[in-house]
Structure 1
């Protein structure tokens, strides 16, 4: 964790370098985030005294989102306590999750909070620094200059990552390691993560072992544990993660990792326990609360699931991180608990907050149909399901036009409602499509399995999932075999058909890579390039960090560069 305000610049004692950095500071564009106008004005005056004049202010999280979408800020200074009970940590989470600020932006949190929970939360989400009130303009300048210098040293790494040129980013890491020993561990951390993204697990493992030879670093141990998990050494990965928790119990991402290992081992209760421990220490992390709810629901611990999903909704109020699924998850659990009225209240809140959203409208129909079915009113429930099925096509069309995915959980809930109201054919059609498109997503497959169990069809569910798995392999093999036989055009045609029919992550990646491989040999085709880019974007929405997606993105960058085409990711 960074040290409090007032420490020296350490390696930045050279007066000439300090002068250059101070001059650089005057040219930076700054965004001050504070709900109190006088506080923003005070900090603006302090920055003005340092020669910083391009200063903007925002009094709410919504205003921050609006401003960062329209401007590129070099520095964001955010108070910890924001509007509507939200905080600077949540804001940072949202900005990073949505890729709204570049890696080069300095994000600093200002706080008077000294409690253990808040400090842990800040460390977990890794702002560049934090300032404890009160502080002087000299202390502010020193901390900003130090952060700017670090960003300057690492800037080439950031630039290559943002261009999608990960091999070049690794080369930039190597240059920092050789030329800037003070920041070698920052560069090694990036290098390990980049190698892991590229699927070069063995090389990533070597980087983390190199770090651990020189220092005790929780992030390096966790990088090593991730590499072990990826080559299915689950017991070793579990032991290493447990070791990290003993040595650094505040390194909260370890809990998430350990939970994922327990899930892979089939130990769902242990996974829930680990996630709950982390959520208790850092209750502000929305993503983790959502995971707690998911695992608790699968464990039939409905009270814990209700509590976690309720926190997600409360914490994400007014945030772009809030989704229809959050409301649907809570509504579903409440119905299972027999609290139909509470479920209806959640649905009413969703309709108010997401007015005009067709997915929310569909979710409301599905939720109410399940409520009616639970109350013993099957005919009324059936009418709503009929309406929901007719709306589903509109939802899919709208989602595609807006470049966002249809809620797969909502689709499963619709299938559940179909089974509950005597529409097994409609339900099976939906289940087949969701299973095919998400066969690698253990949470969604678990949700499908639960619905089959709830509706008295466990064997049918198992048979459906096995059949879908076989069909996916057969469909994929046709295109792959054509490519191996040297028929690249035929392979592209077959793989595009597969991706259009079943847009799961693997098929989308295969189709994109096949097109880029063909263009690499035959020349750039704007029409094919547009199709490939669409496949790549849809794969990224499913899992941007998947090594398969990263590999396709790298091929896109390489081929586009060959033909002088500007890349956009």
Structure 2
């Protein structure tokens, strides 16, 4: 892969400078390119066009599954994707999958190739915008010009990307400031990154100032949404709601505004309004499975099981062969069908899940839980209890396998297993599972609500409230011991207490607090490779729970800073 830092710095457009244009053309020849098109002749034609431009490191992929395989084993500088892909998916959806799963770096140029007729629809629905579009037919010279423009922009912003990938978010903000000062052509790109980075670090007021600065010079949907997010996070829900509604009116195709508006509606207790807003966006972007899943989740919480069934069904259909597919999608649909009393349809989905996920123990566990709940609903408690016994035994294997492979166990599935335990008279087993899930996810309101609903369905709402109160008290007590030791100057004692807490209750709060305590200790006492490895493991586990959490970002930032001070190269997390 070529190093774009070899390019000379310029403050104006590279296309206005012959010397810079020549350098960029030469750098293009060293790029590794992936062509994505379902038609082999189209891939060959584009490969020849690239060859004429001196680009020789060219790979091809005929479907999304092949793209996923290739990007996992190669780092591409450029991806050229046709808009129309296999299985009803498109190049925009592929980009969202690759970015969501962090399979391609920010520095990768992603261009979508489309017909003129499809261009308007592509742009309208582009929430996660590609670097550029190419409208068929195009010449080698047009392709070269678009690639050079995109490569230069990536070059200008490269320091921001590098620091973000390292987890050095404060240094990334400093890199944004340098671009803002030195490269006016890309000032708004840098301001967008800066605002989002400040928000990620929990510096809400500063993020708000950045987005207000953008809006003074240019009214763009992303700046309004950045400001709305900052307002929401400091509790100004009414103002945030008004801004998001403005965006949905002024830029109706900026669909992430609908997702945000739904989250504000839900925070204000307006579940029905949240579901309606999400459904509107889902209808406009039927291929976006992340949003369809949100519709299903919101409809299920709203007890609109018919809408939830439809949304979860679409998620399964759209995600076949996708990196975003999940056992949980089948389990969600099966659960909703049980809620509707349709045990036949629920069993059918469970059978389909076992076939699609053959050999996967979580899928086997989900199928056992589904069958048990179906049998209980049909009045066959003895048969249901026998399956729960099998499920509890399999759960132990799933937990061990998940720990070995770094694959987190589905928390929703665990709650469903607890539900099956309560329904079949195994209250003690159900209580143990619920206590652990509640402790590990006490900051996730949706999972806590799921737990509460199970206690209500099984006729024990008071027991559910008591369990959640006990769990909260346990978390506060464990955390206070570690914090108190740190305040008294006993950093080693604080670290040991927090390690015990993280091992006992591996929730996001303890995982982050323990990692930060270890990094703080090493900052003062010296680097310890074994202790550092433990802290990094806690940080990775916290990141799996919520990659966008300001607490996780703050811990990553501390890790990078301490490692740097000790001359250690931090791992890319």
Q: Give TM class, smaller chain.
A: over 0.9
Separation in 1, partners of 2:467, 2:404: 30
Q: Does the CA-based 8 Å contact 2:114-2:135 persist in structure 1?
A: yes
* TM-score, scaled relative to structure 2: 0.96
> Which residue is 1:282 aligned to?
285
User: Does residue 567 of structure 1 match 2:570?
Assistant: yes
1:404-440 C-alpha deviation (Å, 9 max, x unpaired): 2110000000011011111111111111111111111
Which of 329, 349, 371 aligns to 2:352? It is 349
Displacement of 1:126: 1.1
Any idea what SS the aligned residue of 2:282 has? helix
Q: Does the CA-based 8 Å contact 2:125-2:255 persist in structure 1?
A: no
Q: Does the CA-based 8 Å contact 2:31-2:57 persist in structure 1?
A: yes
User: Does residue 233 of structure 1 match 2:245?
Assistant: no
> Which residue is 1:521 aligned to?
524
User: Does residue 300 of structure 1 match 2:303?
Assistant: yes
Q: Does the CA-based 8 Å contact 1:117-1:281 persist in structure 2?
A: no
For residues 386-465 of structure 1, the aligned pairs below 5 Å read 386-465=389-468
Q: 1:567 to 1:177 in 2, by over 3 A?
A: same
Displacement of 1:89: 2.0
Separation in 2, partners of 1:245, 1:336: 34
User: Does residue 176 of structure 1 match 2:179?
Assistant: yes
Q: How many pairs align? A: 561
> Which residue is 2:55 aligned to?
52
> Which residue is 2:478 aligned to?
475
Any idea what SS the aligned residue of 2:113 has? strand
User: Does residue 74 of structure 1 match 2:42?
Assistant: no
Q: 1:113 to 1:379 in 2, by over 3 A?
A: farther
Any idea what SS the aligned residue of 2:570 has? coil
Any idea what SS the aligned residue of 1:249 has? coil
Separation in 1, partners of 2:182, 2:168: 21
Separation in 1, partners of 2:84, 2:295: 25
For residues 66-465 of structure 1, the aligned pairs below 5 Å read 66-112=69-115, 114-115=117-118, 118-120=121-123, 122-465=125-468
* TM-score, scaled relative to structure 1: 0.96
Separation in 1, partners of 2:182, 2:296: 46
Any idea what SS the aligned residue of 1:123 has? coil
Displacement of 1:91: 1.6
For structure 1, the 5+ residue unaligned runs are 1-8
Displacement of 1:112: 2.3
Displacement of 1:122: 4.7
Displacement of 1:398: 0.6
Displacement of 1:84: 2.2
User: Which deviates the most, 401-410 or 105-114?
Assistant: 105-114
Which of 554, 558, 573 aligns to 1:555? It is 558
1:196-220 C-alpha deviation (Å, 9 max, x unpaired): 1111111111111111111101111
User: Does residue 498 of structure 1 match 2:501?
Assistant: yes
Separation in 1, partners of 2:320, 2:121: 19
Q: Does the CA-based 8 Å contact 1:29-1:73 persist in structure 2?
A: yes
Any idea what SS the aligned residue of 1:125 has? coil
Q: Does the CA-based 8 Å contact 1:121-1:282 persist in structure 2?
A: no
Cα RMSD (Å): 1.4
Separation in 2, partners of 1:53, 1:527: 44
Separation in 2, partners of 1:114, 1:535: 49
Q: Does the CA-based 8 Å contact 2:125-2:253 persist in structure 1?
A: no
Separation in 2, partners of 1:109, 1:136: 15
Separation in 2, partners of 1:163, 1:107: 21
Separation in 1, partners of 2:345, 2:224: 44
Any idea what SS the aligned residue of 1:405 has? coil
Any idea what SS the aligned residue of 1:124 has? coil
Separation in 2, partners of 1:443, 1:409: 10
Separation in 1, partners of 2:377, 2:137: 57
Displacement of 1:113: 6.8
